[in-house]
Each structure stands twice: as C-alpha cells, then as structure tokens.
Amino acid sequence: MNRKLSILVTFFALASLVLAACAPGSVEAPPVADGSDTEKTVVIGFTSSLTGAQEVSSKRQVNGLTLWMNQVNAAGGIHLSDGTVVKFTAQTYDDESNKERVQELYTRLITEDNADFLISPYSSGLTAAASIIAEQNGKIMITAGAAEDDAYKTGNTSLFQLYTPGSQYLLSTVDMLKTLDPSARVAIVHENDKFSTSVVEGLKPYLESQGFEVVLEEGYASDTTDFGPVINKIVESGATVLLGGGHYPDGSTFARQLYERKAGLKFISLLVAPADSKFPELGEAALGVSTSSQWELSATHTPEEAAALGKEWYGPSGQEFADAYLALTGDKPTYHAAGGYLTGLILQKAIEAADSVDPDKVRAALEALDIFTFYGGIKFDTRAEAHGLQIGHEMVVAQWQRNDAGELVRQVIWPANVATAAPLYPIPMP
C-alpha cells in the first residue's frame, strides 16, 4: 500500500511540475513603474553560471553588477531631461554553464521578463548563442567574460565588449619578458576551449615576431585533472617560461601540480585562475605565478591618468569601488567583479549621454563612448566587420608575491609605469 502511495505521490509531483512548466506566467511578473509618470524601472536581464565550470568567475561578475545596481538606485536613479527617473532591477537565471538553454532563457528574458538591456553570459561560447537572440530582438548586450574575438566578427550590431579581446591578452606579458629575458624558451600550454585558444592564436605570432623561441605548444582538455604528462613534456622541451592556462578549475590545478613536480620554470603566466582571490589558497604553489589582468586595485586607473590622456573620467575611484564591494560581499574585488560593475556603469553612462532609454539612442551613445574609469579606457570598434570589439582597454600583468609580512599578495609588475613591485624572475625553486 505504501509503495502504491509513493508511486502516486511521485506521479502527482511530476505531473504538477510538467503542468506548471507549461503554464503561462510561471515566472514572477516583471517589475513595472510604481505609478509615477516620471519613474521608469529598467530591467537588466542576464544568465549567470551559478553551477558548472564557470561558476567562480561568473558569481564575482554578478556581485559587481549587483553592487552597481544597488548604488545607482540608492542614489535616486538616473535623471533624464524630460523628468523621467530611471531605476534598475535585474532578472536572472542559471545557465549551468551550458549552451543548450541559453537561447531559451534569453528569449524568456526579452519577451516575458521584458528586459530592456542585456548582460552577456560568462564565456564566449554562451555569448555567441545569446547574441543571436539579442540581435533578432534589437536588444543591446554588454559583454563581460566573453573575450574571444570571433563573436564580434559575425556582423552583429548589438554586442559591446568590455574586456580586452582574447587575441591581445598575453601581449603585455611578452613585452615584459622581452625586457627580462629575451632568450627565454617559451612553452605554450593551454586549455582547449574557445577563449584560451583565441588567446594563443594572438600570442604565438607575437612571440615569434619578438624573437622568442616557442619550444612547445600543447592543448589540454577542459576537465583535465592530471597534468603529469603535460608537465613531463614541458620539462623535456627545455622551456624556461610557461604561458597558457584556461579558466579557474584547470588553472589552479595546473599551478599546484607544476609546483609539486618541481618543473623548474623561471616564469609562469596562466589565464584567469591567478586573478582570483581564492588562488593563494594554493600556498607556496601560488608564489611567482602571474596572470594578465583586466584590472588590479593596486594599479587602478585615476582621474589624473585620464586627464593626461585627454579622456573624460567617469564613475568612482578604484578604492571607492573596492570598499563598497568589500562591504557588500566581504571579499576583495577581482577583475571579474570590476567587470560586472563596469557593465552597469557603461550602461549608465550611455543612458545619460543618450538622455533616453530608447535602444537606438543608447546604442548610438555606446558607439560614441570614449571614456576612462577606474577600470581603464572604454571605447568600442564601430566597423561593421568587428562591431563592438573593445579597443580602448589595456591589460596589466600581475604576479603573486610575498609582502613584508610574508603574506601572498598580487602585485602589478607590468607596465612599468603602474607597477607596484619588480617582477619575481626567476621564480624561487621549491
């Protein structure tokens, strides 16, 4: 009897879920204006990776965006010349770092949640799928965490990239190596995914043009957990410098195993993972590992820098952002968090410049944008063949070093004019 009852309960549970899935309006009604003629609530829609491979970086990006939204709403919103006060709210879903549902979720965000503007998912592949939905609905999508170049070369008119494109990620690291050790033998070992491969496609020709010998080029699967065979190849190749990596899970494992296997490299630069505040949990394995970073608090950009370049300064200082982020999350901000904040800040600036929330006017304002913030320069390519590609932002090189108290801290080591410490070169042998 109990068994039959259990079966019945299970069936009813399943049936109710399926019926509910089919029912219209199963999602909360989108926020609307509160009745006042002069207040408009703009809905910002996005998916994020609450689960899956991109979870760590994606969550920090969302935290940054949330902070911006809290601040702009608390400050009374954006005041337009016609008396409208623009405030913001967010509608978001978990995309599980999985491309299958991204189009479905973005269609829902636009047509049922009435999202006015979109933020991209975290990763180039997810963004490419979502951009088709944005384009067909004429919705502006500001991207963060979608650095790969190809997504912006598809003929779209709706994407605007915040990050420096993937093909330029490691170029400043090469410039630094040129001054440190022009005879370095370089191994390129990278995750076999869209983003990391696009970085390498830009890196290799640049290394060769600068006279470096590339002794190894190797890709590894995204779910690799044993880097032993790859490390053996690095050692056998006689490489003195390693450039590559991918995302957080593989990058942190790779760094740990390089340390444990005593690979004896003079310099290691990995993508994404060393830029995260969790990276020093690796202990000694983190020491000396560097990364290309979109933004570092210790080398944050300033109004003076903007003035020297003749650019318009916009938004808070880096320290103000960091303090507010720490107060909200209890964590130090990474470049992913700053990126999330900037997506909102750029939108705010474009709405102010357009004096409207009309998509066409905001799009025109974004295309004309040429500003400087604590995060650095922001300017978009407006050519049809690369519309929305970021052309105003430059990256810094950061390295985990020990401070006077013996704590691991991330120091900016390049470019020299913003460096907070000299490069640790070669990395001390374990």
Partner 1 sequence: MKLWNQYRGLIAPVLVVALLAVWPMLTGKPANRESAFTILKAIALASSLNILLGYTGYVSFGHIVFYGFGGYVGIFLLSGMGWPLWASILAGGLASGLLAFLLGSAILRLRGGYFALATIGVNEAMRAFINKFDLFGGPTGITLNFSVYKAYGGAAQALQTSFYIGAALALLALAISYLVRTSKFGLGLLAIRENEDAAEVMGIAAPWAKTWAYVLSAIVPGMIGVLFFFKNGNVEPGDAFPLHASIELLVMVMLGGQGTVLGPILGAFAYQGMRGYLVTSPVFKDIQLSVSGALLLLIVLFIPAGAIGWLRQRVPLLRRVLA
> Which residues form the interface with partner 1 (CB under 8 A)?
3, 6-7, 10, 13-14, 17-18, 20-22, 24, 26-28, 50-51, 93-94, 96, 98-101, 103-105, 107-108, 110-112, 125, 128-129, 131-133, 135-137, 148, 150-151, 153-156, 192-194, 196-198, 201, 219, 221-222
Q: Give the nearer residue to partner 1 in terms of CB position, either 25 or 428.
A: 25
Q: Report how far residue 58's alpha carbon sits from residue 260's, in angstroms, rounded to the nearest whole number.
A: 29
Q: Give the nearer residue to partner 1 in terms of CB position, either 58 or 348.
A: 58
> Which strand (E) or helix (H) includes residue 126?
helix 124-136
Q: Give the nearer residue to partner 1 in terms of CB position, either 53 or 342.
A: 53
Tally of helices (H runs) and strands (E runs) in the chain: 12, 16
**Min CB(81)–partner 1 separation in Å:** 33
Q: What is the DSSP string of 208-262?
A: HHTT-EEEEEEEE-TT----HHHHHHHHHHT-SEEEEE-SHHHHHHHHHHHHHTT
Q: Six-digit token pair at 408?
A: 């691991």
Q: What is the residue whose two structure tokens read 């990050």?
A: 163
**Min CB(284)–partner 1 separation in Å:** 32
Q: Give the nearer residue to partner 1 in terms of CB position, either 191 or 296.
A: 191
> Which strand (E) or helix (H) includes residue 179?
helix 171-180
Cβ neighbours of residue 27 closer than 8 Å, sequence gap 6 or more:
108, 112, 113
Q: Give the nearer residue to partner 1 in terms of CB position, either 11 or 283.
A: 11
Q: Give the nearer residue to partner 1 in terms of CB position, either 110 or 338.
A: 110
Helix orientation angle between 194-209 and 124-136, rounded to the nearest 10 degrees: 110
3-state secondary structure of 120: coil
CB 139 within 8 A of CB 359: yes
**Min CB(249)–partner 1 separation in Å:** 14
Q: Give the nearer residue to partner 1 in terms of CB position, either 28 or 82.
A: 28
**Min CB(167)–partner 1 separation in Å:** 11
**Min CB(19)–partner 1 separation in Å:** 9
Q: Report how far residue 81's alpha carbon sits from residue 240's, in angstroms, rounded to the nearest whole number.
A: 60
Q: Report how far residue 295's alpha carbon sits from residue 395's, in angstroms, rounded to the nearest whole number.
A: 7
